[in-house]
Amino acid sequence: MTGPATVFDKPTDYIGKSIPRSDAARLLRGKGRYVDDMQLPRMVHAVFLRSPYAHAKINAIDISQAMKLPGVVAIYTGKDIAQHVEPYVGVLSHLPGLRSPAQYPLAVDVARWQGEPVAVVICASRALGEDALEHIRVDYEKLTAVTDTLNALSPDAPLIHEEYDSNLAWKRQVEVGNLEEALAQDDVVVVEKQIKFGRHTGVTLETRATVCDYIPGDGQLIMYYAGQAPHMLQFILAKHLDMLEENVRVVAHDVGGSFGIKVHTYGDEIATAIVAKLLKRPVKFTADRLESFVTDIHARDHFVDAKIGVKKDGTIVGMGFNDFTGIGPFSMYPRTSAIECNQILNLTGAPYQFEHYHAVGHVVFQNKTLMCQYRAVGHPIAMAISDCMIEEAARVIGMDPVKIRRKNLIPDDAYPTKSTTGMRFDDLSHHACLDKLLEIMDYDALLEDQQNARGNGIYRGIGFVSLVEVTNPSPMFYGVGGAPIASQDGATVRLDAAGALHISSSVTEQGQGTNAILQQIAADVFGVSIERVKVTTGDTATVPYGGGTWASRGAGIGGEAMLLASHALKEQVLDTAAVILQAKPEDLDIAFGEIVNKGSRERKISLGDLAKIVYYRGNELPHDLKPELIATRHYRVTDFPFVFTNGAMAAHVEVDTNTGLIKILHFWAVEDCGRVINPQLVDDQIRGGVVQGIGGALYEECVYDSDGQMQNASMADYLVPMASEMPEITVAHVETYTKTSVLGAKGAGEAGTGGAPAAIMNAVNNALEPLNCGLWQMPMTPERVLKALGKI
Amino acid sequence: MNKTAQIELIVNGEKYFENVPVRMNLADFLRNKLGLTGTHVGCEHGVCGACTIFLDGVTARSCLTLAVQADETEITTIEGYETDKNASDLIKNFHKRNALQCGYCTPGMLASSIEYIEQGNPPDRKKVKEHISGNYCRCTGYQAIVDAICTTIQERQSR
């Protein structure tokens, strides 16, 4: 921990309270500032022609007819765009052996997934641009599409990249102890299952969008984008468009949901920037929903062969698995498409104590949309492998699922400690969370209800998960491997002449309430009314440098930087006040915009009056006193690679054995994210996350045919969670502050999505237990339930 | 395909005379011609509900309605809900209960909520969920939205 230890010595005014987000007021009145809302003078639209084939050679593109159509300003093919960009490669040095070829924004010679852009029409309107697309003639030579992850590795599979000897992008193995030997012992019960996790995607309601503008004279490129990491994109644009970084400005105003979808490098967005630079005028690209389905990154897509060994008393001896995941034809730049598999290898079984572990991960190229990091990267798979196998083992040995967890969860007094795979843990609370979960869900009553219902032919199930979540990452996540992704974030706090605070931060807002908690922290630590704190995020021209929002780091890292900056400004203001008031700084405090006497709370001078003396009447101050009235601090996690959180969740479901429909009756989530800055915002992060997890568990799947054509690329066909199917979700907290910061906050954004699928699969298999069957494939659709029941 | 037509309509109490391409949908008209960008487009085929507005007092998907179909109609969008739909209490409760995160579904969600309340429906969570089940929200998990709607109805009933 670094920084002031005295911040929480006073009763806090804002931290810990459910204060409504100030920026939501504007959104409720239709005054959002989303990218597609922007209209700039002389703005034109980028409309992309996309490959209808999953794998095809591009022999020629004829744009002559399309060029004649009304409104068409220019048309660029993949070859044209390639001349203006340095290609990018999605590998990182800390994932040794990961390979991926150089990628261009638009396909150049070969299109490798359905939806890959091959040309772009620049046009007066989107509608006219779409008209022109129909008149571009592309001579495609269709190639065999490699779609099935397992078949892609067979020796006779066509190669997606001819320069490689196979379609394998990366393989990693983690071995601790000797699993095979341990599982061969006489007193060990071994359970094996194949678990399939479908491919799904983010379906942010606001599709990806960008407006790029180039200012000749300044030589400045401005990208307005719906995204999460402006500084990362600033680096990428500068590097690949051969510009100086300071001449690239990236601005993210309101973002209509991101969830990891909007933190990657997309060729259509890079091409839009290139075209704006070439034409020296603003260019807008807004993906339509079909484009979103086939070009936004997809997620999951895992085939897992898992096994676990337990003793008859429930002690876990070891676990292991073989994971195959399909990532599309390239590893996504710059975060790579191997991180999810890496997380699964690192995190499976992490809440539990056991000795033997053997996990192998295969990351495989295929002709489908690129797969990359999406909310709760790897966690839903890792948690499902361990917790679904543990509950299955408990069923086999006839043990209660809570009891088997009690026996194996890392004790709450064991920290600091390491997981079997070497993950460093501190300040976790698995048992306390499980206690609280059982208390709020009334487990015994549910068990009784389950027995009674079974008597009536109604099959209800209860499923649990104990989870960890990677939050507040240090440079060990990306920076160490050479990615231009900052692990530290900065915060600036400035006192204006009216006594109000202007704060800015490099973490970004996509609706989760980042701006609100930054205001709460600044108001609380510095001592002004929250209404007098104005916040700026998302603009590389005005905010301090930092990583942005991903991996549940906004509150823990961005919040700590804001705390440090607010405290630094407070010290500076008190030093100035002490001179003006001829008092000692340590006898003074700031409360609700006034300098007060620390003991008596007597008001001495308002912040506005103090600031006016500094700004307007500096002649009243001693010559050697030059207050800045502004402070900037940065923060990064130094003590640990990641600050893990933990939690416990439970699902209560009813399986209709006639229709195969699964109804979630209730869901409970207990989360330990350290200090809760705004309980309502955290609870709703958990709820939204759980519902996203429910989507992956029950509904969402990108269905492909063997030609690599996505069959359900519309919101009418791709099922997302809607209100009528969603349960009430009860959320509770255990607060174990992380010792890595003064604030003590860990992340909370991804736990729900990471844990819910395992809890639901467990609940479904608990419901199906008396029917002697189980379901080990997500999404758990009615058809798959009926197949598991042997009814179809 | 570039044929245009003259339309005359009232939006949020203000009269407009506009020349529009006959193929332009109402959502694009409101957003791009009138600058009322509070109406959002999420799927462009009537499924996600983000573009829902009031057309002659009834909710309609503005992405499935052509601008020319709105000739001689009266439209209310999110920019007018506080004043023209007397929904300031609902808006306040959405804010207080955090019934929105990214705000992209909010225009349509408010429209469906106003409709449910105007129809005199009860603060019944199951019925509310069914009524808003044509409005997709990726962020909240819906619980906060149901809370805000039910609270508003209860407050109006106890007035």
* pLDDT(A58) > 90: yes
Segment A373-384, tens digit of pLDDT: 999 999 999 999
B12 touches chain A (CB under 8 A): no
DSSP state of A116: -
Distance from CA of B42 to the nearest CA of A (A): 5
Paired with A249 in beta bridges are A222
A259, two tokens? 């969830």
* pLDDT(B8) > 90: yes
Q: How much is the average pLDDT of B98-124?
A: 98
- pLDDT tier, A602 (very low <50, low <70, confident <90, very high otherwise): very high
Domain range annotation of chain A: 7-32+488-635, 35-143+207-255+262-295, 298-475+639-788
Domain range annotation of chain B: 4-81, 82-157
Q: How much is the average pLDDT of A6-33?
A: 88
- Chain A residue numbers with beta carbons less than 8 Å from the beta carbon of B35 are 39
Mutate one of B138, B142, B150 to test the A interface: name it (highest A CB count within 10 A).
Answer: B138
Give the 3-state secondary structure of residue A199.
Answer: strand
Does the CA dihedral A446-A450-A453-A455 come out positive or negative? Answer: negative
- Write the CA distances from A325 to A26, A170, A696, A728, A780, integer angstroms: 42, 10, 16, 33, 19
Residues 493-532, chain A: which have Cβ within 8 Å of B?
510-513
Which has the minimum average pLDDT: A23-37, A64-78, A384-398, A471-485? Answer: A471-485
| Cα distance between residue A510 and residue B40, in whole Å | 16
* pLDDT(A9) > 70: no
Secondary-structure class of domain B4-81 per CATH: alpha beta
Q: How much is the average pLDDT of A328-356?
A: 97
Question: Average pLDDT of chain A?
Answer: 96
Cβ–Cβ under 8 Å, residues A734 and A429: yes
Cβ–Cβ under 8 Å, residues A718 and A203: yes
Distance from CA of A262 to the nearest CA of B (A): 13
A600 touches chain B (CB under 8 A): no
**Cβ density class A157-185: b for 16+ within 10 Å, e for less:** beebbeeeeebbbbebebebeebeebbee
Please return the burial class of A41, using the count of CB atoms within 10 Å of its CB with bins 0-12, 13-18 and 19+: exposed
pLDDT at A707: 97
* pLDDT(A12) > 90: no
The CATH number of A7-32+488-635 is 3.30.365.10
Inter-chain residue contact B138 with A205, CB threshold 8 Å: yes
Rounded (5°) CA angle A574-A576-A581: 90
**In which order are the strands placed within the sheet that holds A594-597?**
A588-591, A594-597, A603-606
Segment A415-438, tens digit of pLDDT: 999 999 999 999 999 999 999 999
pLDDT at B149: 98
Percent of chain A with pLDDT over 70: 98
The CATH number of A298-475+639-788 is 3.30.365.10
Cis peptide preceding A101, ω within 30 of 0: no
- Chain A residue numbers with beta carbons less than 8 Å from the beta carbon of B101 are 257, 510-513, 684, 688
What residue has token string 């500068």? A238
- Write the CA distances from A195 to A74, A201, A531, A775, integer angstroms: 49, 19, 51, 9
Residues 210-249, chain A: which have Cβ within 8 Å of B?
none
Q: How much is the average pLDDT of B21-30?
A: 98
CATH fold match for the domains A7-32+488-635 and A35-143+207-255+262-295: no
A402, two tokens? 């809570």
| Cα distance between residue A694 and residue A717, in whole Å | 17
| Cα distance between residue A134 and residue A414, in whole Å | 65
* pLDDT(A11) > 60: no
Inter-chain residue contact A20 with B96, CB threshold 8 Å: yes
Q: Which amino acid makes up residue A262?
A: K
* pLDDT(B1) > 70: no
Segment A118-150, tens digit of pLDDT: 999 999 999 999 999 999 999 999 999 999 999
DSSP state of A745: B
- Chain B residue numbers with beta carbons less than 8 Å from the beta carbon of A258 are 102
Nearest chain B alpha carbon to A509? B102
B139 touches chain A (CB under 8 A): yes
Reference A90, options A78, A81, A102; nearest CA is A102
- pLDDT tier, A364 (very low <50, low <70, confident <90, very high otherwise): very high
**Assigned superfamily of B82-157:** [2Fe-2S]-binding domain (1.10.150.120)
pLDDT at B159: 86
Residues 69-128, chain B: which have Cβ within 8 Å of A?
77-79, 81-82, 91, 94-98, 100-107, 110, 125, 128
Give the 3-state secondary structure of residue A129.
Answer: helix
Mutate one of A19, A21, A23, A29 to test the B interface: name it (highest B CB count within 10 A).
Answer: A29
- Chain B residue numbers with beta carbons less than 8 Å from the beta carbon of A127 are 21, 23-24
CATH T-level topology, domain A35-143+207-255+262-295 = Aldehyde Oxidoreductase; domain 3 (3.90.1170)
Inter-chain residue contact B138 with A24, CB threshold 8 Å: no
